[in-house]
Protein backbone atom coordinates (compact mmCIF):
# COMPACT_ATOMS: atom_id res chain seq x y z
CA UNK A 1 0.00 0.00 0.00
CA UNK A 2 1.27 3.46 -0.93
CA UNK A 3 2.47 5.59 1.96
CA UNK A 4 1.80 9.33 2.01
CA UNK A 5 4.05 12.16 3.13
CA UNK A 6 2.50 14.56 5.62
CA UNK A 7 2.95 18.02 7.04
CA UNK A 8 2.26 17.93 10.76
CA UNK A 9 1.02 21.21 12.16
CA UNK A 10 0.91 22.52 15.67
CA UNK A 11 -2.45 24.24 16.27
CA UNK A 12 -2.16 27.17 18.71
CA UNK A 13 0.36 29.72 17.48
CA UNK A 14 0.77 27.96 14.13
CA UNK A 15 -2.66 27.65 12.48
CA UNK A 16 -4.50 29.94 14.86
CA UNK A 17 -3.56 32.81 17.15
CA UNK A 18 -1.98 31.87 20.48
CA UNK A 19 -4.30 33.01 23.28
CA UNK A 20 -3.08 30.89 26.18
CA UNK A 21 -5.57 28.14 26.98
CA UNK A 22 -8.14 28.27 24.18
CA UNK A 23 -11.49 27.40 25.74
CA UNK A 24 -14.16 29.26 23.72
CA UNK A 25 -15.12 29.59 20.05
CA UNK A 26 -14.95 33.38 20.08
CA UNK A 27 -11.25 33.23 21.03
CA UNK A 28 -10.34 31.06 18.01
CA UNK A 29 -8.82 33.23 15.28
CA UNK A 30 -7.22 31.85 12.12
CA UNK A 31 -4.02 33.51 10.98
CA UNK A 32 -4.69 35.37 7.70
CA UNK A 33 -2.68 32.95 5.52
CA UNK A 34 -3.63 29.68 7.25
CA UNK A 35 -6.27 28.59 4.73
CA UNK A 36 -3.99 29.48 1.81
CA UNK A 37 -1.17 27.44 3.40
CA UNK A 38 -3.45 24.42 3.98
CA UNK A 39 -4.76 24.62 0.39
CA UNK A 40 -1.13 24.39 -0.78
CA UNK A 41 -0.63 21.26 1.34
CA UNK A 42 -3.90 19.76 0.05
CA UNK A 43 -2.95 20.35 -3.60
CA UNK A 44 0.58 18.97 -3.09
CA UNK A 45 -0.62 15.42 -2.37
CA UNK A 46 0.72 15.60 1.18
CA UNK A 47 -1.56 15.07 4.18
CA UNK A 48 -2.27 17.96 6.56
CA UNK A 49 -2.28 16.63 10.13
CA UNK A 50 -2.71 18.69 13.31
CA UNK A 51 -0.80 17.42 16.37
CA UNK A 52 -1.36 19.61 19.42
CA UNK A 53 -0.67 19.46 23.16
CA UNK A 54 -3.82 20.39 25.08
CA UNK A 55 -2.79 20.26 28.73
CA UNK A 56 -5.71 22.54 29.59
CA UNK A 57 -7.70 19.29 29.70
CA UNK A 58 -5.36 17.80 32.30
CA UNK A 59 -5.38 21.03 34.29
CA UNK A 60 -9.19 21.04 34.40
CA UNK A 61 -9.57 24.26 32.38
CA UNK A 62 -11.74 22.56 29.74
CA UNK A 63 -12.84 19.10 28.62
CA UNK A 64 -11.90 16.90 25.68
CA UNK A 65 -15.29 17.68 24.14
CA UNK A 66 -14.37 21.40 24.14
CA UNK A 67 -11.14 20.65 22.25
CA UNK A 68 -13.06 18.51 19.75
CA UNK A 69 -15.68 21.25 19.29
CA UNK A 70 -12.92 23.84 18.70
CA UNK A 71 -11.19 21.53 16.19
CA UNK A 72 -14.51 21.01 14.36
CA UNK A 73 -15.00 24.78 14.23
CA UNK A 74 -11.46 25.27 12.94
CA UNK A 75 -12.11 22.67 10.23
CA UNK A 76 -15.30 24.48 9.17
CA UNK A 77 -13.46 27.82 8.96
CA UNK A 78 -10.81 26.22 6.75
CA UNK A 79 -13.34 24.35 4.60
CA UNK A 80 -15.20 27.62 3.97
CA UNK A 81 -11.97 28.78 2.30
CA UNK A 82 -11.38 25.58 0.33
CA UNK A 83 -8.88 24.00 2.76
CA UNK A 84 -9.04 20.73 4.73
CA UNK A 85 -7.19 19.19 7.67
CA UNK A 86 -6.95 15.43 7.09
CA UNK A 87 -6.95 14.54 10.80
CA UNK A 88 -6.58 16.11 14.23
CA UNK A 89 -4.57 14.58 17.09
CA UNK A 90 -4.27 16.04 20.58
CA UNK A 91 -2.59 15.08 23.83
CA UNK A 92 -4.76 15.77 26.91
CA UNK A 93 -2.07 14.85 29.46
CA UNK A 94 0.43 16.62 31.68
CA UNK A 95 3.07 14.82 33.77
CA UNK A 96 2.88 17.04 36.88
CA UNK A 97 -0.13 19.38 36.57
CA UNK A 98 -2.74 16.87 35.50
CA UNK A 99 -5.84 15.78 37.37
CA UNK A 100 -6.84 12.12 37.71
CA UNK A 101 -6.20 9.94 34.66
CA UNK A 102 -4.71 12.90 32.78
CA UNK A 103 -1.75 13.24 35.14
CA UNK A 104 0.72 10.91 33.45
CA UNK A 105 4.06 11.07 31.70
CA UNK A 106 2.74 9.87 28.35
CA UNK A 107 4.32 9.18 24.98
CA UNK A 108 1.97 11.51 23.08
CA UNK A 109 2.79 14.87 24.68
CA UNK A 110 5.30 16.78 22.59
CA UNK A 111 8.34 16.72 22.70
CA UNK A 112 7.55 12.98 22.57
CA UNK A 113 6.70 11.77 19.06
CA UNK A 114 3.71 9.58 19.96
CA UNK A 115 1.10 11.62 18.10
CA UNK A 116 3.24 11.64 14.95
CA UNK A 117 3.86 7.90 15.12
CA UNK A 118 0.16 7.20 15.82
CA UNK A 119 -0.84 9.30 12.81
CA UNK A 120 1.69 7.44 10.65
CA UNK A 121 0.12 4.14 11.70
CA UNK A 122 -3.49 5.32 11.36
CA UNK A 123 -3.06 7.16 8.06
CA UNK A 124 -0.34 5.11 6.35
CA UNK A 125 2.14 7.99 6.41
CA UNK A 126 5.79 7.91 5.41
CA UNK A 127 7.57 9.76 8.22
CA UNK A 128 10.84 9.79 6.26
CA UNK A 129 9.19 12.10 3.69
CA UNK A 130 7.19 14.16 6.20
CA UNK A 131 7.69 17.52 7.91
CA UNK A 132 6.47 19.36 11.00
CA UNK A 133 5.68 23.06 11.41
CA UNK A 134 5.44 24.54 14.90
CA UNK A 135 6.22 27.56 17.03
CA UNK A 136 7.86 25.97 20.09
CA UNK A 137 10.99 23.93 20.85
CA UNK A 138 8.78 20.99 21.88
CA UNK A 139 7.45 20.85 18.30
CA UNK A 140 10.98 20.80 16.87
CA UNK A 141 12.09 18.14 19.34
CA UNK A 142 9.07 15.94 18.52
CA UNK A 143 9.98 16.17 14.83
CA UNK A 144 13.57 15.21 15.61
CA UNK A 145 12.44 12.20 17.65
CA UNK A 146 10.21 11.07 14.76
CA UNK A 147 13.06 11.50 12.28
CA UNK A 148 11.35 14.21 10.25
CA UNK A 149 12.37 17.70 9.13
CA UNK A 150 10.94 20.71 10.93
CA UNK A 151 10.22 24.40 10.43
CA UNK A 152 9.95 26.83 13.34
CA UNK A 153 7.63 29.75 12.67
CA UNK A 154 7.92 33.17 14.30
CA UNK A 155 4.26 34.22 14.14
CA UNK A 156 2.83 32.26 17.02
CA UNK A 157 4.23 33.79 20.17
CA UNK A 158 2.53 35.77 22.87
CA UNK A 159 3.88 39.29 23.47
CA UNK A 160 7.36 39.20 25.02
CA UNK A 161 8.20 35.80 23.56
CA UNK A 162 10.44 35.11 20.59
CA UNK A 163 11.43 31.85 18.89
CA UNK A 164 15.00 33.17 18.85
CA UNK A 165 15.05 32.97 22.66
CA UNK A 166 14.09 29.32 22.39
CA UNK A 167 16.90 28.61 19.92
CA UNK A 168 19.70 30.13 22.01
CA UNK A 169 21.99 27.57 23.58
CA UNK A 170 20.62 24.64 21.56
CA UNK A 171 23.10 22.11 20.24
CA UNK A 172 24.03 22.27 16.58
CA UNK A 173 21.78 19.93 14.67
CA UNK A 174 19.04 19.91 17.30
CA UNK A 175 17.25 22.98 15.96
CA UNK A 176 14.77 23.30 13.10
CA UNK A 177 15.71 22.73 9.47
CA UNK A 178 14.31 26.17 8.64
CA UNK A 179 12.89 29.22 10.42
CA UNK A 180 9.99 30.98 8.68
CA UNK A 181 7.98 34.11 9.38
CA UNK A 182 4.62 32.33 9.23
CA UNK A 183 2.79 29.17 8.19
CA UNK A 184 2.48 30.07 4.51
CA UNK A 185 6.21 30.77 4.21
CA UNK A 186 6.95 27.49 6.00
CA UNK A 187 4.77 25.47 3.61
CA UNK A 188 6.38 27.17 0.59
CA UNK A 189 9.84 26.23 1.92
CA UNK A 190 8.76 22.62 2.46
CA UNK A 191 7.35 22.27 -1.06
CA UNK A 192 10.59 23.67 -2.46
CA UNK A 193 12.71 21.45 -0.19
CA UNK A 194 10.87 18.36 -1.45
CA UNK A 195 12.05 19.15 -4.97
CA UNK A 196 15.72 19.39 -4.01
pTM: 0.93
Every domain of the chain and the residues it spans: 6-195
10 is catalytic: yes
- Helical H segments across 33-182, by residue range: 34-44, 55-58, 64-79, 114-123, 137-146, 163-167
Question: Would you say 115 and 108 are in contact if contact means Cβ atoms under 8 Å apart?
Answer: yes
The one catalytic residue in 12, 86, 135, 139 is 12
Model confidence over 31-50: pLDDT tens digits? 999 999 999 999 999 999 99
Return d(Cα 149, Cα 163) in angstroms, integer: 17
Task: Indicate the pairing of strand 87-91 with strand 131-134.
Answer: unpaired
- Give the HSE-up count for residue 32: Cα atoms under 13 Å, Cβ half-sphere: 4
CATH numeric code, 6-195: 3.40.50.1000
Residue pLDDT, tens place only, 46-71: 999 999 999 999 999 999 999 999 99
Amino acid sequence: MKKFPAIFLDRDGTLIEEVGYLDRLERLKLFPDSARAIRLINSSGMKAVVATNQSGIARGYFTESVVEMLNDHLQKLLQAQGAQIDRFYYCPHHPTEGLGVYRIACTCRKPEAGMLRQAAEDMNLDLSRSYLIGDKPTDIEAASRAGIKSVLIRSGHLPGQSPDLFLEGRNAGSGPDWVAANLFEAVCWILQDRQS
